[in-house]
Amino acid sequence: MIAAILLFAAAAAGEADAPPPAAATRQLYDEALAAHGKGNPRKGAALFFQWLRGSPRTAEAYDSAQHLLAEELHSLGLLHAALVYETTVIRSRARPELLPAALDRLQAWAAEAPHDEDRFEAEALRGGDFGGVEGPVKAYVAFEQGAADLRAGQDRWSEARFAELPESSPFRFRARLLTAAVRLSRGGPAEEALHELHELATDKSSPREVRNEARISAARLRFEAGEFEQALQLYDAVDLPELDPGRGQIYLEEAWTHYRAGQGGKAMGLLAALEAPSFRNLFLPEKFLLRALIYKDACHWLTAKRTARGLLRRYAGSLQAIQDRLPLLDDAQLAEAALQKGAGRRAAQLVAQLAKERDKLDRLASAWKDSGLWDSLAELYAGAQAEAERKRQLELERGVIRAADELLRAAEQVSLVDYEVGLALYRRARQAPKSQLAFQTVDPERDEVAYGFDGEYWNDELPALRFGLKNRCAEGVAP
Amino acid sequence: MKLARLLCALLLACLAAPLAASAQESGKLVAIQQRKYRMGVELELGGMFEPIDAFSKGLAPEGSLTLHFDDDWGWEVLRGGYVARLNTSLRTQLERDFGVDPTAFDSLQYYASSNLIFSPLYGKFALRNSSLVHMQAFLSFGAAYSHFTSYYAAAPELGAGLRVFLNNTFSVRFDARDAYFFGLTTKKQQNILFLSLGLSINFGGNDG
């Protein structure tokens, strides 16, 4: 109760301290425009805000001022605030001539950094009618609206939206990829999806990220169907920019595929890639399992046992917490794992992005305090940060359970490997096991070049790492 | 004494266990990549600077044709250039103040050579951690033939060079070669250092 009274008093005091709005004169607007023209976004933003505060929403230049204020805020690195003002222009549509530019900015700025997608794309675009918009942004709007309809199960509407996309537009390829993925997730026929994914993967006019996603999705389907060689061809075709480390999860999937295809050396090479600094902290308990399986299959018994137990050592704290029924959120490894992929990762990135912008805003306090812009934006950011943190917490709660399940499954599997190693040792006394795995030599072919690993990970080499391991199954020596 | 032996045996056993395990684990980890740049038929156009003549420096437009048999070996079928001379102040002073006859200075006028190329080094550098630069270092050995102001000469030639790949078709090549010329009709001898820089155009190899 006392806290509530104090809060109310503080709010009242804040209001009392707030400077009265300056008169929204023509001169003030001109000064703001002059500052904008001179490339002084700090001054320009403060003056545009002052003018907006003193003007009615029906003022002729209101939307133009918001549009310009958004530009100033964006140039100062305040992306969230910039998007708030720009989407207000899009929603109000009081100045239709500003709409294409505002949509263009929304598309470009939204691609720059993590942002609140539900608030900006969803609210500004998905419900609106943008029939009059022409030019490149038309495809962007049609894609966003169609994607929202598709995810909501409105297939007929989404088809109509996607039909508006020009044949050559990158959004058309994205729309096809999204449609295939959504239909597959609803239990649609895998063959149909696979056909569409293959077309996208091989179409040179589709954007690189679409081709890569299509290849990865098709590779997963091939793997599930037991077509390992085809899956590997698709993984190999993934085209990364030079020195891009790629994605750890994909390397692990590819390593499993190599293992299933009987290519132990390549599988082990990819597992070695997962020890690179880019991936070292990724939560991938299965990498221990796969490594132990490969050592077991090559009859490296002691190493197989030690690798299997490596998982139990690495995640000992988390496994103990699960066993003791402790709150999973308190476990640092599980919490980190929960925010490493999917929605959890996006939620964590948004929290970090808003915190970064908030720091930038704090550095502008002295410049903007008098105009009231700082107070207004501080309130805006406080609300956005609270909402982002709420979403992050929700994702964290879901994510730790997923991570705990994944860890338990892997721990169970490595225990099984440990047991199987013991069993194999016992059997070996009577009959030597035969390995299904091939560990090819690590000598380069005529058109290849070999870089021996010396502890330094080069991103371009990660997918090309090979591990030459001796198959000891036929040796018949003691472990 | 017995206790000491026992302790030694225990220590050895403790050391040996992890060693045995690591020996079992010690597979070889290698990154094997498709060689990004391979040369086929190389046509080079560039310039040569001849720096060590005290009386004049040579500058020449230069060209060469090289056939690369594989990634290691190639034959530079022909390299040749025509040299323009830039007199040094020493020569000017000798001619002006001491009346030395200009024909007394024998200098390189044009030349041709043929060499075997051995390229054992191929590698890459990270450029500001954002892109890769591929390079190749090579050695050359062969023979050269040239005309000096007043005589023809032949020489064994040795050199080393560096190639920076720009893409599958173009590369920048730097050569430093030394040739010790013996006059064919006189007993004159001359050591010439060739510093060449050129743009190479690659046909074949993996330029497609």
- Shortest CA gap B126–chain A (Å): 9
So what's the pLDDT on residue B23?
Answer: 38
Position B90 pLDDT exceeds 60: yes
Question: pLDDT tens string for chain A (479 positions)?
Answer: 444 444 444 444 444 455 556 667 889 999 999 999 999 999 999 999 999 999 988 888 999 999 999 999 999 999 999 999 999 999 888 888 899 999 999 999 999 999 998 888 887 887 778 877 888 889 999 999 999 999 899 999 999 999 999 988 999 999 999 999 999 999 888 889 999 999 999 999 999 999 999 999 999 999 999 999 999 999 999 988 878 888 899 999 999 999 999 888 899 999 999 999 989 889 999 999 999 999 988 888 889 999 999 999 999 999 999 999 999 999 999 999 999 989 999 999 999 999 999 999 999 999 999 899 999 999 999 999 999 999 999 999 999 999 999 999 999 999 999 998 888 777 765 565 666 677 656 778 888 888 989 899 999 999 999 998 888 876 654 44
In chain A, the residue whose alpha carbon lies closest to the alpha carbon of B31 is: A465
B33 → closest Cβ in A442, A464, A472: A464
Per residue in B180-193, pLDDT (tens digit) is 999 999 999 999 99
- Number of A/B CB contacts below 8 angstroms equals 79
The per-residue pLDDT of chain B, averaged, comes to: 85
- Tabulate helix, strand, coil % of chain A (nearest 5): 70, 0, 30
By C-alpha distance, the chain B residue nearest A465 is B31
Chain B CB contacts of A470 below 8 Å: 27
Distance (Å, rounded) from C-alpha A443 to C-alpha B48? 39
DSSP string, A362-387: HHTHHHHTTTTHHHHHHHHHHHHHHH
**At B182, phi and psi to the nearest 5?**
-115, 130
Tell me if A243 and B38 make a contact (CB, 8 A cut-off). no
The helix/strand/coil state of A59 is coil
Contact at 8 Å (CB) between A465 and B29? Answer: yes
Three-class SS state of A201: helix
Shortest CA gap A113–chain B (Å): 20
pLDDT recorded at residue B26: 56
* A302–B24 C-beta distance less than 8 A: yes
| Shortest alpha-carbon distance between residue A440 and chain B (Å) | 11
pLDDT-based confidence at residue B105 (cuts at 50, 70, 90): confident
- pLDDT of the residue at A23: 67
* End-to-end Cα distance, chain A: 71
Question: Is the pLDDT confidence value at B20 over 50?
Answer: no
Decide if A451 and B31 are in contact by the 8 Å CB cutoff.
yes
Q: Is the pLDDT of residue B16 over 80?
A: no
3-class SS of residue B49? strand
Structure tokens at A309: 């137990």
Residue B118's pLDDT band, with cuts at 50, 70 and 90, is very high
A272 contacts B31? CB cut-off 8 A: no
Question: Which has more confidence, A279 or B55?
Answer: A279
- How is residue A438 annotated by DSSP? B
User: What was the pLDDT predicted at B10?
Assistant: 46
- Model confidence at B8, pLDDT cuts 50, 70, 90, reads very low
Partner-chain contact B32 A302, CB within 8 Å: no
Q: Which of B25, B26, B32, B135 to mutate to test the interface with A (most CBs of A within 10 A)?
A: B32
What is the distance between the alpha carbons of residues A98 and A86, in angstroms, rounded to a whole number?
10
At residue B31, the 3 state secondary structure works out as strand
Token code pair at residue B150: 């007043």
Distance, in Å, from the CA atom of A125 to the CA atom of A161, rounded to the nearest integer, reads 13
- Which residues of chain B does A469 touch, with a Cβ-Cβ cutoff of 8 Å? 27
Q: Which residues pair with B41 in a beta bridge?
A: B67, B203
Task: Report how far residue A269's alpha carbon sits from residue B163's, in angstroms, rounded to the nearest whole number.
Answer: 31
Distance CA A395, CA A464 (A): 35
Yes or no: say if A272 and A467 are a contact pair by the CB < 8 Å rule: yes
pTM value?
0.80
Can you tell me the distance from the alpha carbon of A220 to that of A226, in angstroms, rounded to the nearest whole number?
10
The answer to whether A243 touches B131, Cβ cutoff 8 Å, is yes
Instruction: Name the token pair of A251.
Output: 């390397």
Check CB contact under 8 Å for B28 and A467.
Answer: yes
Q: Locate A293 and state its tokens.
A: 């399986």
Q: Quick one: pLDDT at residue B54? A: 78
The whole-angstrom separation of Cα A88 and Cα A91 is 5
Alpha helices (H) along chain B:
2-25, 89-98
pLDDT value at position B41?
96
pLDDT at B5 (0 to 100): 53
- List the single best residue of B26, B29, B72, B119 to mutate versus A (max A Cβ within 10 A): B29
Our CA-based measurement puts residue B76 at a distance from the nearest CA of chain A, in whole angstroms, of 22
Q: What is the pLDDT of residue A246?
A: 84
A12 strand-pairing partners: none
